[in-house]
């Protein structure tokens, strides 16, 4: 359904049963899957906010089936010829969320109100990014991460973690893991992998590689957690070190179940 005053530019592609509400703009370089809903004032496929961009460049935005883009959210197309900014299936962008050029937001991710993703950001499947959070360009957010509201994210966030404030890891997203229906053994392995990486001194990439070599990646989830540290350009968010005199539990911050 295309509501009155919605703008669908020539060349835009819409799948079956999409709903484009009043005053929404679907740019000529946008490709929408089936059952995508775009609310009033949203702009999908707008030009990237990049000073050197040539508007004649044929680049794209692709939105997966069942995604919802709420009021005044913006999704910019890529700065590179033939490349795509991607929103995954069933992703939910709340009001005023911004997805910059060349981002990839994977399936079932949620960006709350006023989230700001700079260019080249990757958001993993099933993530929740809290309201007003700002994410630096080229940051990778692993699957199943929960980012607190108003957080400032400048470093990569390992899968299945909780992160708030400025790159402060506070533990595993245990609630999210249980909601996924993961068995206790898998959660136990993730806890062991978390400790192996964050609770020892040394280069974090080396620690993750050593944990993999020691067999800690038995479950697929623990393996993906450890393999995440082999890549990236921004460095990695870490837990805040306890201050002198603070009480510390045996499992560390965020590890209690």
Question: Which tokens go with 197?
Answer: 């990486």
Nearest to 84 by CA among 69, 110, 104: 104
111 contacts 105 by C-beta, under 8 angstroms: yes
H or E stretch at 209 = helix 204-213
Nearest to 112 by CA among 142, 73, 140: 73
23 contacts 42 by C-beta, under 8 angstroms: no
139 contacts 151 by C-beta, under 8 angstroms: no
DSSP code string of 191-204: HHHHHHHHSS-S-H
59 contacts 30 by C-beta, under 8 angstroms: no
Q: What angle do CA 241, 242, 248 make, to 5 degrees?
A: 125
Q: Give me the half-sphere count of Cα atoms (radius 13 Å) on the Cβ side of residue 214.
A: 14
Which residues belong to the active site? 101-102, 119
Question: Which tokens go with 25?
Answer: 């703009």
Q: Is residue 36 classed exposed, middle or buried when 0-12, 13-18 and 19+ CB atoms within 10 A define those classes?
A: buried
64 contacts 44 by C-beta, under 8 angstroms: no
């Amino acid at each position: 359904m295309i509501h009155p005053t919605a703008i669908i530019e020539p060349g835009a592609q819409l799948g079956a049963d999409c709903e484009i509400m009043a005053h929404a703009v679907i740019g000529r370089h946008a490709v929408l899957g089936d059952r995508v809903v775009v609310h009033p004032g949203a702009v999908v496929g707008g030009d990237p906010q990049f000073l050197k961009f040539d508007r004649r460049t044929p680049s794209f935005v692709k939105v997966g089936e069942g995604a919802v883009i709420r009021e005044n959210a913006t999704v910019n197309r890529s700065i590179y010829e033939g490349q795509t900014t991607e929103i995954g299936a069933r992703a939910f962008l709340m009001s005023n969320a911004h997805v910059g050029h060349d981002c990839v937001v994977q399936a079932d991710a949620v960006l709350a109100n006023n989230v700001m993703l700079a260019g080249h950001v990757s958001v993993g499947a099933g993530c929740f990014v809290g309201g007003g959070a700002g994410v630096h360009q080229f940051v990778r957010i692993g699957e199943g991460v929960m980012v607190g509201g108003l957080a400032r994210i400048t470093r990569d966030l390992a899968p299945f973690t909780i992160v708030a404030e400025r790159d402060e890891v506070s533990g595993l997203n245990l609630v999210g893991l249980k909601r996924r229906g993961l068995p206790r053994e898998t959660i136990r392995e993730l806890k062991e992998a978390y400790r192996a990486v964050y609770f020892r001194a040394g280069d974090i990439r080396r620690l993750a590689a050593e944990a993999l070599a020691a067999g800690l990646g038995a479950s697929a989830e623990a393996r993906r957690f450890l393999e995440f540290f082999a890549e990236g350009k921004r460095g990695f968010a870490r837990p805040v070190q306890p201050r002198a005199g603070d009480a510390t539990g045996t499992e560390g911050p965020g590890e209690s179940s």
